[in-house]
Each structure stands twice: as structure tokens, then as C-alpha cells.
Amino acid sequence: MKNPRSHIAKFGPILAAIFLAQCSATLKFPPVSSPLVFGDAYAIFRDDFPFEISPQTPDLSAVIPPARPGCKVKLLPAGKEAFEVKYYIIENAQRAIKLQSYILYSDPVSKKVVEILRQKQAEGVEIQFIADCYTKFVAKDRLLYYRIERSGLELLGFEPVYFSAISDSRPILDVNEINMRFHEKYWIVDDYVAITGGTNISQEYAAYQNKPRLMWRDQDVLVIGPVVNDFTRAFDENYEYFRNKELDRPKLINPQWYRQERKKKKEQSEEGKAGPGREANLIPAIKLEDFEDEDALVRFIRHRPRLQETYIHQAYLHLIRTARKRILIENSYILLDQAQTQAFLDAAKRGVEITIVTNCESTNDVTGLAPLTRYHYLELMQAGIRIYEWQGIVRGRGSLHSKYAVFDDDLSIVGSYNFDPRSTFLNSEDILVIRSKKVADELTRYTETIDIPNSEQVTMAQAEKWRDPNSPARIWTRLGLLFRDWW
């Protein structure tokens, strides 16, 4: 009998080449690069802002809804304190919890969230839960997802890759389903309060037990007001997508079919029994104070590259192109495209003071990205842009994962969007554009008093070295740049 490993060795490279060729097909729509500027920075809040609309967008009001005045905005502190707020709002839910995360690891933080959701479901609260763990294959994580399902708590979006190869309507593996991820993050409770940002559900985001490798820096924002309805619509679209995807599978591997069968049996066994009713309109039990601004103007924007949408990319370009004094960018992954680079260079020429804070090589959790990021520093720094690399609260440990920006000390962006091709052309993302000087000042204070002191400013000598074609790192850089659109 032949060794199966010999077959893998023989056909593995061929299969890998086919897979990579298929992946490249996910990036065939053109980037937005129009140099036109529409009004001033505040035009981003206008209903007639000229977004370049994808013909595949089914409902514009669910991806670029109007700006919402009269919102309350609260920046959440990084780490444990932010999760204490999240635990609090779901523990006090009365009607519904809608929760979406890109990552759900099997660790104390995830298990606590799951346990709270189980308890609230037992109390009659409707739970809708999405975790895009499509490519997460760690056995203990899979066991957690299985136990969640067995406990009766529905979790969408976690199925293994091979399920995509078996459906009633698609006979072959759909690479888009593997390569184009759902990166949005939503915590929505009772259609009253919502949270978004860069934080996933796992212990590194909660600075768990003060372990250096788990002490990540991230940034979330909590909102109350009319914009929460925009969060809800976005979540509901994602939820319907994942539900329909399950229903498209044969019964044997269709979790939704099993859930429905289990629900039918439960309803039949409980037929005739009167259960406690829940009031349609309850006074919110969630009490939150110390808002940075009681009347902020907020616009929710999302995009889904699977539908060739680039609305967040367009919003960022507009705000960079219309900035007049200062731009502050703090982002975990920086790999700018041509339009973004040119927008920053033009802003610098106008005299705009620009500061960028991102990861160094040792704190970057995406292996191999740092040399590609550093390759582009020289051009930016020659234009006068300052770049800082996060070193970690404990040097070299703990990633910078926040994704926010401040423009002219008045407008801010907080969300899930990274400055890399994956966020522009592969992953679905969401942001909030916020007009509030108090919020802008607070984000700036975080950067200047917490993050920059834990960072090192990149020198011109370093930038020249990282651009040097004779540097040993250039071998990887040359290879990495060939596949830059997949980072």
C-alpha cells in the first residue's frame, strides 16, 4: 500500500497553485481612485454624498444609511474594563441580543460570554450569534462551537471549510467563501445600545491575567440613539446570509435543519403549556453614564467586497483629501494602496500634520506583514509624515489592534477597518464616522499619552534601510509584494 503522504507531496503543489489562482479571482474589481473632492470634510454626513455605488448592493440604506444626529457616544477603555461594560449590557438585556465577532476562541472570556448568552436565552431573551470562525481549526475551539450548539444556543458562521464544497446549488468549492471573511464586530442589545470597533471575543483583547502576550491594545465605541437601528439592519442582513447558506445544504450536513427538527419536537412536547409572556416594550435596564458627548452626529458605514462595495475606503479617502490641519491614524495593519498613499502625500503637501501609529515586527500578529509595511515608509516620511511603531506594554509582547482615526480635531472614525488590501477588497467591515470634538480629543489623548509612549518613532535611517534593495529582508519583501492583495 502506498504511503498517502507521497500523494500529498505529489499533488499538493498543484492543488495549492489552483487554490491560489482561484483566490486571485476574488480581487478583480477596480479600486476607487478618483481624485475628486466633494465639498469639505463634513460632506461625508450629507445624504447626497457621491459614493461610487456598486451595482451589486441590494439596499443602500443598509450599508450607507443617513447620518444620525442626537446620538450618545462613549469610547470604551482598552482591555478588561471594556469587557466589563460588554458583560454588563448583555447581562441586563430584556428582549434581544445580537452579537457578531470575527473570532471566538475557546478561552475564559469566550466561555463567559457564551454562559451569559445561555442564561439570557433561558430567561426568554432572543439570542442571535454570529462568529466567523470559518478558518479556525483548533480542536478546542471546534469543541466549544459544538457544545454551544448542543446546549441549544444557535451559532451561525462557524462551519468547517469542507461544508462549502457540499451544497444543493454549488458542486465545487467556492473560494470566495474562504477568502472573503466577515470581519465586522457588533454587540447590539434591545435595539437600544450598540458597540463596535476592533475587538473580537477572546482573552488577548481583555488583557487577561496581565500576561504580556495577551495584553493587546484595541479600541471600541459604544453608542445609544437612532444609529443603533443601522447596526441592527446590518446585523440582520449578515444573519440572513448565514442562515440561507446553511439552508442551502443537504439535510445530512445542515445544522439549520437539525435545529428546526429539534424545535418542532420541543414545541410538540410543550403544546398546550402556557409559558410566561414578555412585554413588547420594556424600559431599558441598562444604565450608562459619563458619555463624552450627549448629542453627537454619527454615520454608520459598512462595505462587503463580495458585493464589490468599497464605501469605507471611499469615506477614508474623502476625509484624508479634505483634512486641513491634522490627521491621526492608529491602525494595526498598514499596507496602503496607491489611492491612499497619494491622498496622504497630497495632504502632507498642503501642510497637514500627519501621524501614523502601527505595529512593529515583533508585535504584529500577521506574520510577514511588517517588511511590506516598512517598505513604504520612506516615501511617506520624505513628505513629512511621522510614523510610530508600537512596542507593546511589555516590550515586544501584545499587539496593537485598534483601528481609529482623527481628522482636524473634530471628526473621528472607529471601527473594524484596517489600512490593508484585505479590509478593502476581501473582508466585510464597518465603521462609525463621528462628529464630536470631545470624542476626537479623547482619542488623541489616548494616542499621545498611552500609545506613543509605548512606541518608537521610525527614523529616516531605518526607513532607508528597509527600502534598501540589498537588505536581506528584501527577498521576503519582493515575494510578499507579489501577493500584497491577500494580506
- Tens digit of pLDDT at every position of the chain (487 positions): 444 444 445 555 665 565 555 566 666 666 655 556 788 999 999 999 999 999 999 999 999 999 999 999 999 988 899 999 999 999 999 999 999 999 999 999 999 999 999 999 999 999 999 998 665 667 888 788 888 888 889 888 865 554 554 554 555 556 666 778 899 999 999 999 999 999 999 999 987 666 777 889 999 999 999 999 999 999 999 999 888 877 766 655 555 665 666 666 555 555 544 444 445 455 678 888 777 677 999 999 999 999 999 999 999 999 999 999 999 999 999 999 999 999 999 999 999 999 999 999 999 999 889 999 999 999 999 999 999 999 998 888 899 999 999 999 999 999 999 999 999 999 999 999 999 999 999 999 999 999 999 999 999 999 999 988 676 666 667 677 766 767 7
Which grid coordinates belong to 21?
Answer: 489562482
- What local confidence, expressed as pLDDT, does residue 45 receive? 98
- Quick check: helix, strand or coil at residue 10? helix
pTM over 0.85: yes
CA nearest to 376, candidates 481, 482, 487, 471: 481
Give Cβ neighbours of residue 185 (< 8 Å, ≥ 6 apart). Answer: 100, 101, 102, 195, 196, 197, 198, 199, 200, 220, 416, 430
- What local confidence, expressed as pLDDT, does residue 368 receive? 85
Residue carrying C-alpha cell 480581487: 27
End-to-end CA distance of the chain: 41
d(CA 393, CA 285): 36
Q: Residues 377, 466: contact at Cβ < 8 Å?
A: yes
Distance of CA 296 to the CA centre of its chain: 23
Helices 108-122 and 80-91, packing angle to 10 deg: 10
Note the CATH architecture for domain 29-46+299-486: 2-Layer Sandwich (3.30)
**Alpha carbon separation from 268 to 123, 154, 192, 412 (Å, rounded):** 20, 20, 34, 52
Per-position DSSP letters for 242-290, written without gaps between them: HHHHHHTS-GGG-HHHHHHHHHHHHHHHTTT-------SS---------
d(CA 164, CA 103): 19
Three-state secondary structure readout of 124-155: CCEEEEEECCCCCCCHHHHHHHHHHHHCCCCC
- What local confidence, expressed as pLDDT, does residue 386 receive? 98
- What local confidence, expressed as pLDDT, does residue 225 receive? 96
Residue range(s) of every CATH 3.30.870.10 domain in the chain: 29-46+299-486, 70-262
CATH topology of domain 70-262: Endonuclease; Chain A (3.30.870)
- What local confidence, expressed as pLDDT, does residue 147 receive? 86
